[in-house]
Amino acid sequence: MNAITLNIDVGELASALADQLVQRGLVVPQQSAEMPDPDELWSAQQVREYLGISTSTFYQRRATPGFPNLVDRPGQPRWRAAEVRAWAAGR
């Protein structure tokens, strides 16, 4: 049996294969994983959207022990996004 030597850049081959799979709709490209900002503050609407809950459910959850504390800003109630994420992950 004869051996064939190929001079192929494996990284380029993998990238070309991934591009073809995406173009054919066989895979969905992965979004870059960015580290969330630990100081990011969310409005009530952003918290509700993240949790996928209604306004009334939000106010019920807000009253339960363990829900993230409100960061009081004059006229702009906010919650620490990192605390909301941690709370949601622990449920």
Beta partners for 71?
78
Cα distances (Å, whole numbers) of residue 31 to 28, 40, 70, 72:
9, 20, 30, 33
Nearest to 35 by CA among 82, 91, 84: 82
Q: Contact 11/44 with Cβ under 8 angstroms?
A: no
Q: What is the pTM of this model?
A: 0.59
Those residues whose C-beta lies under 8 Å from the C-beta of residue 3, and which sit 6 or more positions away, are none
pLDDT at 32: 56
> What tens digit of pLDDT does each residue of 12-54 get?
777 778 778 778 878 777 665 677 787 899 999 999 999 999 9
Query: What's the rounded mean pLDDT across residues 50-78?
Result: 94
Q: Measured between alpha carbons, how far is 42 from 1 in angstroms, rounded to an integer? A: 65
* H/E segment holding residue 16: helix 10-23
* H/E segment holding residue 13: helix 10-23
